[in-house]
A and B are shown apart, each in its own frame.
Chain A
Amino acid sequence: MKYELTKQDINTEPFMTKPPEFNRKTVVMRTDKTYKCEIINILELTELEKLFHLKILDDAERQMFDFRPGQFVMVEVPGFGEVPISISSSSNNKQYVELCIRKAGRVTDVLHRAKKGTRVGIRGPFGTSFPMEAMAGGDVLLVAGGLGLAPLRAPLFWVTEHRDQYQDVHVLYGCKKPDQMLFTYQYDQWQSVGGVNLHTIVEEPDENWTGKTGLITDLFNDIAIRPDHTHAVVCGPPVMFKFVCIHLDTLGIPMNRMFVSLERRMHCGMGKCCRCMVGSTFTCVDGPVFDYWSVLNLKEAI
């Protein structure tokens, strides 16, 4: 055989037998290998949102899975598809991952029909995170609108677990209607145990609502913000974070201390499919967490 090309079989290389470590971005790994998980608990938060507790079944994979607040995972429902969901649990929780999922499309609809014990997959974690260490020493302002509280729950967990490192912590949370509010069962705990000041507001109150009514920016009248000592994290629909950031900007919080988490369509989570492009930046690898200055520089962000 004078001209025979020999097969270079990548399937026999060492990476094929190891679980993929998504935190090590530059090595060759089985990028489409999903960690098999079992849904160990489902909490119905509202009509549209459920909180899923997923436990990674393989011990080695579970120990390897390590994320930072703000990162997301790709949730795989075999046969139906994959969706990007930000992690809502504490990064200290090594037992299971909590994901707050809204019923919005094909895959999430199937997930909402799933029962305890169903096996799904996750790949990840992917993306950038909130710089929790850099925020230490000062005040923290977490501003969420609607489903935006889901990704903010991870940094909130971090802050309450490292409470001594932060000074005043305010959580501002706004919703359209009172029955859309998420994690209501934890509000007392956050305030009494976590030492967090929670302020809520709704746009369209019902007869049982006794709290404030109005837009999220109205809540800024209730709190004293020390612009030079504050890091702000904002998450919510684009209109909401735009107005909140503009307001915080006028208060004098430096742009590189205001963080937002963006949402886009994603098919890979790894900067390959290009579906989540904002201007010339990938939401999946350069985001989803951006500081406000970067967001202003992104062409299509707001």
Chain B
Amino acid sequence: MIFKVITKDEFKKFVDGLAEENETFGPKLVDTRADGTAIYDFRRASCFDDMDLDYTISHTSIKRFFLPFRETLSEFNFSGDDWEQTIEYRNNPRAIVGVRACDINALNILDRILMGGEFPSPYYIARRRNTFLVGMDHDPLEDCFCESLGQHLVHRGFDLFCTEIDGKYYLKVNSAKALAFLRNVETHSPTHEEDHMLIERKKALKASFKAKVDVSALPSVLDIGFKHDLWKKWGDKCLNCGSCAMVCPTCYCYAMEETIDVGLKTSKKERVQYSCNLVDFAEVAGGHNFRPLKEDKLKYRYYHHYRGFAQNREDPICVGCNRCGRACLVGINPREVINDLLMESKS
């Protein structure tokens, strides 16, 4: 990795140039909640001033750029008694500016699942390869707990990552593309003092997390506590609406839907983001549901997130952004569920 330091004015020029020549997305203020807090989301941006780069956190994650809510996987064209299948991978280049460390870490987790292992997904690979990511760190919100999961710092998976030091940006340059683009603006190699400031910034960031959760013992606690009563307590609260999975940066479970065009000439096979909390997630033909109870479904999501699956080397896939906790309509917060579980296992 190459390190550079850039002034804010030069960085503005860099982003303006990037946005002028490419389809570029950045954080924007899109709405305000009833309590007055801002809602940010990634939208198409035309220049630096069009973005709100001092945003807190986007309401939904950037997952949807790689795993859109609805994506056509293939199409069938009918003619007579025959059909032909066509598959095309979407790969328009684009840039996303201002992505938080936890979201890039979430992408790294998705990379491992969707680009590696068994049956790599060409749909995901095409989108990932054609996305230029500029990351930016931020001060955590009251309820962010990414530090507990070791996801508050990011070391790979981006093209450029900016950390603010003394009115300037300390840049981690992680791709040849990014380095080439930076030649268009003025940067300098970090001085010893600037290196030191970066370390101080990292220390301050680590110390600023108020929300903490102990996840070290979770895999075994989850395994042992599989039939625990507390799942019923939380399951009874859950509405099975699936909001948590929609805002989660790592939830990738999906459903396939096939629809025939009204003209009966073509049909589409679409991948639709799904949630394991939705009622028919594990229902098979004939009507048997392998997870009939609300607690079964809720528990399963916690299992996937904190115990991990073999596909993910059994590591937790949660990055601690707490989007699900904020989006939950009945106030189910992952920290509270985990603490509850840990308390029960100790008693």
Contact = CB atoms under 8 A, between A and B. Distances in A.
Contacts of A104: 285-286
A96 interface: no
A281 interface: yes
Contacts of B307: 280
Given A117-B81, A119-B82, A300-B291, A263 B252 contact: no
Contact of A5 (B76, B177, B256, B304): B177
B108 interface: no
What size tier do the contact residues of chain A reach? 35 or more
A6 B87 contact: no
A2 B14 CA distance: 10
Contacts of B18: 3
Nearest to A267: B256
A280 B310 contact: yes
A275 interface: yes
B282 A81 contact: no
B121 A272 contact: yes
A273 B114 CA distance: 11
B255 A30 contact: no
A28 B125 contact: yes
A5 B290 CA distance: 47
A269 to B, nearest CB: 8
B282 to A, nearest CB: 6
A277 interface: yes
Nearest to A299: B226
B195 to A, nearest CB: 28
A285 to B, nearest CB: 5
Contacts of B308: 280
A2 B89 CA distance: 27
B256 A272 contact: no
A267 B255 CA distance: 6
Interface string B283-305: 11110001100001000100110
A28 B226 contact: no
Interface stretch (A7-15, A152-160, A174-182): A7-15
Given A3-B18, A32-B74, A274-B253, A10 B122 contact: yes
Given A6-B93, A78-B76, A263-B284, A11 B88 contact: yes
Contacts of B92: 7
B121 A3 contact: no
A286 interface: yes
Interface residues of B, number: 70
A33 interface: yes
Contacts of A31: 119-122
B22 interface: yes
Given A3-B21, A5-B130, A28-B125, A271 B83 contact: no
A259 to B, nearest CB: 19
A199 to B, nearest CB: 27
A30 B87 CA distance: 8
A32, A268, A274 — most chain B CB neighbours (10 Å) = A274
B20 interface: yes
Contact of A3 (B17, B255, B267): B17
B95, B285, B309, B311 — most chain A CB neighbours (10 Å) = B285
A118 B78 CA distance: 12
B254 A267 contact: yes
Nearest to B116: A26
Given A31-B121, A280-B309, A281-B310, A10 B255 contact: no
Contacts of B177: 5
Given A5-B95, A82-B256, A280-B308, A10 B126 contact: yes
B129 A10 contact: yes
A34 interface: yes
Nearest to B286: A104
A279 B258 CA distance: 28
Contact of A286 (B88, B184, B283, B310): B310
11 contacts: A5-B130, A11-B91, A34-B85, A78-B83, A82-B258, A104-B285, A272-B121, A274-B309, A275-B281, A279-B303, A285-B119
Given A3-B22, A279-B303, 5 more contacts: A3-B20, A10-B125, A267-B254, A272-B254, A280-B314
**Closest A-B pairs by Cβ, 4 of them:** A105-B285, A5-B93, A79-B267, A270-B119
